[in-house]
Structure 1
């Protein structure tokens, strides 16, 4: 399947602005445009004749290259695969000379299709793969999609269905993203073809029918026949001959004027011949088969032995058994000759390769004997140089890694200081400053209560100073520090805190930085719970299971949190907690359920 013609012609016009091509008024160039239109419309004979006429006018190299490319496509659609390969190879050499990447990619696909239909699967795959690599290197997404579609068909015909389906689905998604309707529909047809070859006829119809109206609106005959062939074969296999007759009428209109040796037409004619046989209309079936054989058309989809076997079956159904036997013998003779030709070709290639290998081995042995000592010294020097180079690279990388780690550590430390400053600023502003202001006002009216309130201010400042003092995790473990912190909070604030720590876990194995950040998260979330929660107990748990360390702080939702203004939901508190979790690559989640606010930190323990 070729690219969208208007885009292809636009690219050609840009390329033809070189000195070799004068203007779009060039008669050969105008004929090229007409050849492309005839090809798209299905008039292959007209396209071929016009392309040959234009080539006789000795056009500029760029125009000549694309005329040959269009001619190769025409020959493929007409079933003349060997001729198509020869024309495409000549065009490709010219495209290389011109450095015309689009032409080279287009020709890679054309040659691959011709080789595939000639049964030369390996040669076809080489063309497709090299074309895809070129398209990737040139960032040409459209030809990459086109060539991946070609690979899909090749894998499908080779019964490598899993790979074929993978390529088809990937190509359909890429074509959809690129807004390439022709290639997207072609990929969908390939998916239906894969299901058909697996005898999953209903799955094939489910893949094809939703796109049928869009295919008709596009009006590209080659694509339309591709869809119709799969739909007709699927309905025929399911025994729905009414649907077959309905779609066959549309197929007859599309095929009108198209050459019988077109691959798409052959697929429809094969379905038509099979349907005539199922309807016991053997005379009409025989006439159709004879017309196909008389056209001399054959390729991988419609090999000569297949047509002869179909004719033999038809003659047998007509009780012309002697003729049926003769044609069946001819079919087996053709099949045997094809296999024998393939074997002889393979043996010939093997003999040439074997003799060449013998000569190369003799020369290599002679050179090895005369240069062995010199090579040993050379390799020794090379090995030493490489070793020194590898060591130097490793030392350099280690040094760079150490510098990056140090820089990251310093940056993390600075970020931590900034976060702590933000939190301290909030605590001083919302807590200590307001408490001092309240005490000052109370001193003028109620000195006794002011003194009691001043004691509360003192305890709050003292608690804040304890929180600011970082523990030394080089000498203590996280569980010990948390127990000490909870005890201090309970003593100073009189708040009931339930603490659960997994004693089976080796807390000394936790890295110091991780322990420090977890401790600060517990401090922050506990302070939030005391400030914004109700007066129920605060639950703190540290558990280790399934390779994860889970830290949970839960408290009742207070009145200040009922309207959604809890500090852990947004603001300084949430930012501080999230930054600390990010530093140790931990997951932080906050949830509310059953009037309880729950903060959970999950840290993945490294296994040794």
Structure 2
């Protein structure tokens, strides 16, 4: 449409479109007034619907549903199928919210037709199934006629002609019960085409001629064009060139009065290019095909794979083999994507459901779908919660197991400590006391000798008592406790403190202190060492205890079970969750304990 035509269009629109009533006055008469523009001036119908909808309350209503359906039909007439589908869906939702069955079926019927024209057969089928199910409990012959006729077209497109004729006859029978001329034209025209395709040529032509007369009498170009396309195809099939040219001329005479991207225009143009190809006018036919493909939002009636096959025939007629091959490849690619068997199965199911009056819907409604989604989300959430609980239980059980092992190790360490101290009391203090007793019994009263023996025994008892005293009772830090222990060792133990302060929790401090006591005590009483050095260091949270001595080389693997308190030592290191290593370096024995704070 050029600028001049656009300007004239809006002048006409401003002069012909009457002002809309107020929101409170938008009633059935107003809606019928707006609906009357759909066929003669669909652009005006869209504007009127927009104005009316803008004045209405936000909540759903039957009037809103019908206005949305009218706007959808106007978009459909203009060839804007995407906008039409959106409006029909909105119309159905509004009708469903207020439980208006008639409006629901009306929206589903229009939506199904749009899907079918868009070659979305499966979506169209869903709409028809749901509409038929709703009509089971209502008496709306016009709506039932529309649905049955649409199903007939669907069957015809799938080459199931006997079923198409059956549904078309039922559709026309219902249409005759109404005074809706458009519904009658739609039903009768569809029946004429189905009869002809099924081999009943004369009946098909007669039905089509009758409908052409009705459309021309009403003066509706859209429906006139709609009835010309089928009869052109019929005469072409029968080899009547004069009749073909006659109806093509009559169609061309009204073509510019119908939106170029409308269903009726495209249907007529498609039939025209088929005839032109048969006449050998390949370039003219190809121009029409390219025009159809280039139309925004347009969808051909015939399947796209067949359209590309016909494009290939035109290129073949023009001798352009390369483009012919490209067109065939496109047709093959489109045909491969069509799930024809699934569609046929669904159509068969629809036929059975209708004739056996089954009332269940074949598709889930939106609420059921939402319920399924909620159930899935709930199951996933429950699974995550259960998994989290199991993980928490496992971690708690693991921590409890570690705590039990630590307690057991501590108790075992206490038992080992008691055994070692008992051994030292028996071999040390008891033997010293026995020596004093024997000296006194022998009558030797050397006061100096007895004093020295008693002093040695007292020191031994003091040393053992200090070892029995838990470090935390002293009120000292670990480093202070180690330093005090070294000072009381009479020069046997020396301590090399770290550069900075080391903060270790009390439980680990006790185990570390006992390891120092255990090992240096073993060195003092059971080895050739004359001195031992203790050092403590921390690096990035790891504590390292090193004890070196100058005794004979030590081989831990050669020590029998319980020897030198190794078993007790290992238990304490295990309680620290650390590592214990023995090695020799530069003639010096080393024991190294490492663990993390």
Could you tell me the TM-score, scaled by structure 2's length?
0.49
Structure exhibiting the larger radius of gyration computed from Cα positions: 2
